[in-house]
A and B are shown apart, each in its own frame.
Chain A
Amino acid sequence: MAATSTVGTNPPAAPNGAAEVFIELRDLHKRFGKQEILCGIDLKLYHGETLCIIGPSGEGKTVTMKHIIGLIRPDAGDVYVAGMHVNRLGEREMAPIRQKVSMLFQGAALFDRMTVEENVAFPLWESGVRDRKEIKQRVLEALEAVDLAEHLDKYPTSLSGGMRKRTGIARAIICRSECILYDEPNSGLDPIGSDIIDQMILRMQRRFGVTSIIVTHDMRSTFKIANRVAMLYRGKIHFLGTPDELRASPDPIVQDFINGRSDVTG
């Protein structure tokens, strides 16, 4: 499949039938020093769908994701989330977007000095909820959703990699965001730990109708959870389509990547 043939084609409707665009990237460009990371990314994400972003390391997958939530500003191009123009907002004006979109970081980014309970309660407290009973109840609900309700009092340093990521997911879902961005949720996990995370993501989508973007290198996981897949290559979206279309793609770059053949970066 040619690089340009997939960009801008009509994506399939979101799983729940809604066709409303939730996130849109228009001609996104980003350069760090002399290296151009993003060379014109166009992408639309629909309400309730799960999009996996794949591609070789260093191609700008995480950078793309960080643009969506305003952690990085583009050199050129536009980012829209729920109709709001993200890159025109100042840091202190981002609150409405960050109420709708949350993010799981690659290393979970839990606060070292807080227990699991305090970490998960943090976004609730900061959003103005002061009823301790309500906070406790919602923390327990979020931790039960990720099977961590028995580890309330532990500190992040005493958790395994998988438990840290699940705590991060609990923290991301507690405010009932409409969209969750996952940055390599399976990296560094054993196959079972990885499968647990995949099940969590699927559960979020089915139970809460959460829109998800997942940056991953894990093809098994991609085929299991994605409604659509975007492959980044040389700063552009090289492929955009369903997992079945990805599998069937005749494009050698796509095939080399999904089958793990090393000449993909050559």
Chain B
Amino acid sequence: MDSSTGLLTLPGRTFLHFLTYLGQLAALMGDLLLAVRSRVWRLKLVAQQIVAIGYGSQAVVIVTGAFTGAVFTFQSYAKFKEFGFETTVGAVVSVALCRELGPVLAGLMVAGRVGAAMAADIGTMKVTEQVDALRVMGVHPVDYLVLPRFLAMMISMPFLVAESISFGLIASYLVTSVGYDMPSSWYLTHMIDHTNMEDLSIGMIKGFVFGMLITLISCHQGLAAENGAVGVGLGTTRAVVISSLVLLIVNFFLSILLNYVFPIGSV
């Protein structure tokens, strides 16, 4: 095949690779549903994963949420003051954190920290034949390796998103009250008046969806690892990159969809 033919067929081949990848993810999701149907939960493994995913990710999620809330408030306060709207900072930051920044930043941090660990863990087991050993002992790898991680992620993610939002709001409040001497009642009144359960629900739903996507993508990369340490490294990198990009793209469409269900400023 000469180079011009190669270039011409490149979009087609890329599209085929993309479809193949989607098919593999769908197959993994199908296996996961079969694993759920088998109702073998392996609670000890789920608990271990909750510690690794939920407990272990708190620091990064809290720091990310807090400093994002702080810097967002710092920047927006100055601009809002020009128009005399500085008291509305609390409302704007709160809605932005609940609907977008909280879940997206928590998701990106978890994709980096947990997604990489999932892909590396499972990938190492794959290339050292531990996954085959599971199969030989009659244990489906999805039941043993993916389902506990999936359940742990579903349980942990809402808490991590809530922490990200909460610490973002606390930091925002401190910036306005300590940094700008704004009376705390102004900040709190506007924040409470303009933030409702729908905003929080959007954050939680997004956290759930992001958690599912990160687990699915990362475990798939781990189970697909080949060629020893190089393959594991490649799978780990791909898990983080694909999870992060998919999360940002899905977030856009999810925001549009959820805005129909829970319109902003509806209350």
Contacts and interface: CB of A to CB of B under 8 A. Distances in A.
Interface stretch (A105-113, A137-145, A236-244): A105-113
A71 B133 CA distance: 10
Interface string A83-122: 0000000011011001100110111011110000000001
B34 interface: yes
Interface residues of A, number: 23
A127 interface: yes
B136 A103 contact: yes
Contacts of B137: 98, 102, 122-123, 126
A112 B132 CA distance: 14
Contacts of A99: 138
A105 B138 contact: no
B135 A91 contact: yes
A150 to B, nearest CB: 24
A69 B138 CA distance: 10
Contacts of A123: 137-138
A127 to B, nearest CB: 7
Nearest to B124: A112
A98 B138 contact: yes
B130 A126 contact: no
A240 B235 CA distance: 42
Nearest to A92: B140
A98 B129 CA distance: 16
Contacts, number: 47
Interface string A199-217: 0000000000000000000
A106 B140 CA distance: 21
Nearest to A106: B129
Interface string B115-157: 0000000001100111011011111100000000000000000
A106 B129 CA distance: 9
Nearest to B137: A123
Given A69-B136, A98-B136, A98-B138, A107 B129 contact: yes
Interface in B86-104: none
B132 A109 contact: yes
Interface in B193-239: none
A222 B132 CA distance: 26
A85 B135 CA distance: 17
Nearest to A103: B136
Nearest to A95: B138
A120 to B, nearest CB: 11
A109 B129 contact: yes
Nearest to A102: B136
Given A105-B132, A126-B139, 9 more contacts: A66-B132, A95-B138, A98-B136, A102-B136, A102-B137, A103-B136, A107-B128, A110-B133, A126-B138
